[in-house]
Amino acid sequence: MIIHQDFNKLKVNKETSVVEVLKKLNETAKKVLFVVEDDKLLGTVTDGDIRRHILKVGKIEGKVEEFYNPDPVFVYVDELENKEKIEKILLSKKVELIPVVSRDLYLKGYIEWSDIISEDHIISYERIEEDIPVIIMAGGKGTRMKPFTDVLPKPLVPIGEKTIVEHIIDSFKNFGLKRYIMILNYKGKVIESYFNSLEEDYNVEFVYEREFFGTAGGLKLTENIIPQEYFIISNCDIILRCNYKEAFDFHKKNDAIFTSLTSIQHFKIPYGVINTDIGGKVISIKEKPEYTFQINTGVYILNRKIFEYIPDNSYLDMPSLMLKLIEENQKVLSYPIKESDYIDIGQWEEYHKWLKRLEI
């Protein structure tokens, strides 16, 4: 059995900051880090642990000791021959990897899902039991991806053997969602013709804007065809690798009208930043500062009450709608995911980066 011993890259301690943990999760592309003290396993930390902490305290601050799991799943190094037990742990706990420790809990390595579970044994996704439609905003001109979008609309830009929008649909299908409504405008007939030529196990409907009404204004056109209390909105150039079931449960449990799925992003300014006062007096300088923010991904979970705040046949973008709701004291929430789980394919640089990252 393969035991990975490159665990130094996955180690953090109780004093490690939230920001550093997020960076390490992104750099390693893993979902679990090991909390250790002199290589003795104290616990684990996942992106879910971080999300719950951020939602609890309301900011991207804190140390590992505040949110790590002190009761982790692990296997002893002298139990590695018991493949059946390890497989059972992986399947029941639905974990990506398991730390391997000595009897006195010192870290010896880790085992990944792919090391022991056959390729035809796929982790089952938690299904969203309610009949929730997904509205895909597919009417834009795709100006960031010209000249390609002079020929094809952005939703049909290929990624491997499928288009961008098919990958988006697949990400929702994993959670049992079957109904998709595309709001179309630019080259809309091309998109409709493409989907009419497919034979799929989901239903796609098309709604046309007469004008460009913006990411929120176009939603009004769906008011009379969506009887459900909840629905999901997605831009047509964004793929999120997240648990939509957990996100929906969060939205519903908190009785929100609007939940924005956000991505925690890190930005480093490659220069010294100077702060000045009146007359050009330099107050301070900070060399190559780093900042961490939650950014809007373009994926939202909404309550149908939202239609009361969207005017008919008028332009309205999502940021303006969010501000309007906040001014009206409506509950607007964020559901953060880590940086590497957010894929923006709406511009050429990002498109090529993600082709490589997705190994297509």
In order, the DSSP letters of 125-164 are PPP--S---EEEE--S--GGGTTHHHHS-GGG-EETTEEH
pTM comes to 0.84
Which pLDDT score is estimated for 142? 65
Tokens read off for 116: 């022991």
**How many Å apart are CA 23 and CA 249, to the nearest integer?**
27
Phi, psi of 274 (to 5 degrees): -105, 130
Phi, psi of 143 (to 5 degrees): -65, -25
Instruction: Catalogue all structural domains in the chain, each as residue range(s) with its CATH number.
Output: 7-116 (3.10.580.10), 134-258+298-357 (3.90.550.10)
Mean pLDDT per block of 10 residues along the chain (360 residues) reads: 84 94 89 93 93 91 94 89 79 81 93 66 71 90 65 80 90 94 90 89 92 90 94 92 94 97 91 91 91 93 96 93 96 93 77 64
3 within 8 A of 100, measured Cβ to Cβ? yes
Which pLDDT score is estimated for 18? 93
Which pLDDT score is estimated for 122? 46
